[in-house]
Structure 1
Amino acid sequence: MTEDQDHYFTADPSVPFERETFTASVWGHDLELTSGAGVFSRGHLDHATAVLFREVEPPVAGRFLDLGCGYGVIGLAIATAVPLSSVIGLEVNERAILLANENAAGLGVGGHFVACRAADVPSDMQFDEIWSNPPIRIGKEALHELLLTWLPRLAPGGRAVMVVGKNLGADSLQRWLGEQGYPTTRLASAKGFRVLEARRG
């Protein structure tokens, strides 16, 4: 893990840091979001997540997991566009958790979005859908472990929607997911990214 990557996993919210606010237009809603130093995609919507939003319609009511939520953009977009949703944003970076919950309060969706660490998610909770721009750069082994921890938490018939760079192994990940018992199709391919949908039977 590089020093920069380590920074993303250990950013301490008690240490003063510079916040940066920007607006992301998603599914007809303008989301004013605060990012910050030590958090992925500071000050802008990253290209992969932009492709995800452009290529996939918002989901319908249900319980959602934003896996690796950062400062919350995917989960907050769902919470804003889908009033009858309950969204958990899962994250290891404490500063990102702080920012995601601040953003939820600012957008008025704090009642049905919360960002937290894995240990704070009830062990028996299932999700209708998992959405993610997964942290590919943690390495294949760690990524596989992460997905095999959370994909089994999908409710029967549930799905996971993920955006992955083609040059970061999207096609091999699609095959691997199928081999693990999660049939995976490609919903879209744009600007060097694949949008994958993995289903639980």
Structure 2
Amino acid sequence: MGEHYFAERPETASRRGTVDLVLPDLHLRLATDRGMFSPDRIDPGTRILLETVPPPPPDGDLLDLGCGYGPIALTMATRAPRARVYGVDVNIRALELGQVNAQAAGLDNVRFIRPGEIDPDVRFAALWSNPPIRIGKAALHDLLTTWLDRLSPGATAHLVVQKHLGSDSLHRWLDQHDWPTERIASRSAYRVLAVTARPPRDPAGPDDGGLPGRPHREETP
């Protein structure tokens, strides 16, 4: 597993490069480096997500979870210039390049920051992500629980996941944990899932053990 999944400061020696993100509505040349996700090309899953996802809300707070050097966050910022976009990652090298890429693209409505730097009261009007599936099922579920529970009421998250890496089981897990989920696209063994914010919990409902954001049920797909 690449260190970019967990390392704040990758030990891999730096070797800068560039990739081109070309979509029908934009063309961005992005700086990349070793020690981060897909530095040599735009990942196919990311491209499929950006080619199939509906337009983001025109304003509000938008989130790219696991942003890397920024292709998803920068696309959101381009398509929703009045919105505030957050690119979140643990990898400092990737976050620094994301900010470099935002400046090069003239986008001042996007920030690249670590998870703990976002105001905990912020709620997101949309979340787009090519999530880090390879961190393992338990860690992935914890990650998604944390951030999906910060969607605004009625907001939608769009996730792209490879079929052979568990897109269908993730779809079932999301449904089982009260996030209504629909597959909106399927291409080249990738699935794009639209996940709706789950309704507020009944305060008189089952005890969740005092762990905010934890699902009540513990089914494993």
TM-score, normalisation: structure 2: 0.85
Give the direction of change, closer, same or farther, for the CA distance of 1:13–1:142 in structure 2 (3 Å limit): closer
Letter in 1 for 2:106: G
Aligned-partner residue type, residue 104 of structure 2: G
Q: Structure 2: how far apart are the matches of 1:178 and 1:19?
A: 41
**Aligned position for 2:37:** 40
After superposition, give the CA deviation of every residue in 1:84-131 in whole Å (9 maximum; x if it has no partner).
12100010111111111111111111x210011111000100000110
Could you tell me how far apart the structure 2 residues matched to 1:65 and 1:17 are?
27
Contact 1:31 1:107 in 2 (8 A): yes
**Structure 2 partner of 1:68:** 66
Residue of 124, 129, 137 corresponding to 2:126? 129
User: What residue is the counterpart of 1:57 in the other structure?
Assistant: 54
- Farther-moved stretch of structure 1 (130-139 vs 72-81): 72-81
2:84 match: 86
Indicate the SS of the match to 1:10.
coil
- In 1, the alpha carbon distance for the partners of 2:110 and 2:118 equals 13
Is residue 5–residue 132 contact of structure 2 (8 Å, CA) maintained in 1? no
Give the drift of 1:18.
1.4
Are the equivalent residues in 2 in contact too, given 1:24–1:45 (CA < 8 A)? yes
Q: How far is 1:60 from its partner?
A: 3.0
Task: Judge conservation of contact 1:35–1:99 (CA < 8 Å) in 2.
Answer: yes
Separation of aligned partners in 1, 2:5 and 2:178: 31
What is the distance in 2 between the residues matched to 1:22 and 1:15?
A: 19
Distance 1:12 1:93 in 2: 6
The one-letter code of the counterpart of 2:177 is Q
Tell me the equivalent position of 2:206: none
Residue 16 of structure 1: how far off its partner (Å): 6.1
Evaluate the alpha carbon distance shift between residue 125 and residue 134 of structure 1 in structure 2; reply closer, same or farther with a 3 A threshold. same
- In the TM superposition, 1:38-187 aligns within 5 A as 38-62=35-59, 63-109=61-107, 111-187=108-184
Show structure 1 runs of 4+ deviating over 3 A: 13-16
1:194 partnered with 2:191: yes
Q: Percent identity over the alignment?
A: 43
Q: Which moved more, 1:111-120 or 1:19-28?
A: 19-28
Which structure: greater helix fraction?
1
Amino acid at match of 1:121: I
- What whole-Å deviation, never above 9, does each CA across 1:17-53 have from its counterpart, x for those lacking one? 1111121112411011011011111121111011112
SS of residue paired to 1:143: helix
* Number of matched pairs: 197
Q: Tell me which protein shows more strand as a share of its residues.
A: 1
Letter in 1 for 2:121: D
**Superposition deviation, residue 9 in structure 1:** 2.8
Unaligned runs of 5+ in 2: 200-221
Amino acid of the residue matched to residue 189 of structure 1? S
Q: Deviations over 1:134-189 (max 9, x none)?
A: 00000000000000000010000001000000001101101101111110000011
- Structure 1, unmatched stretches of 5+, are none
- Partners of 2:79 and 2:58 lie apart in 1 by 10
Q: CA deviation at 1:13?
A: 7.3
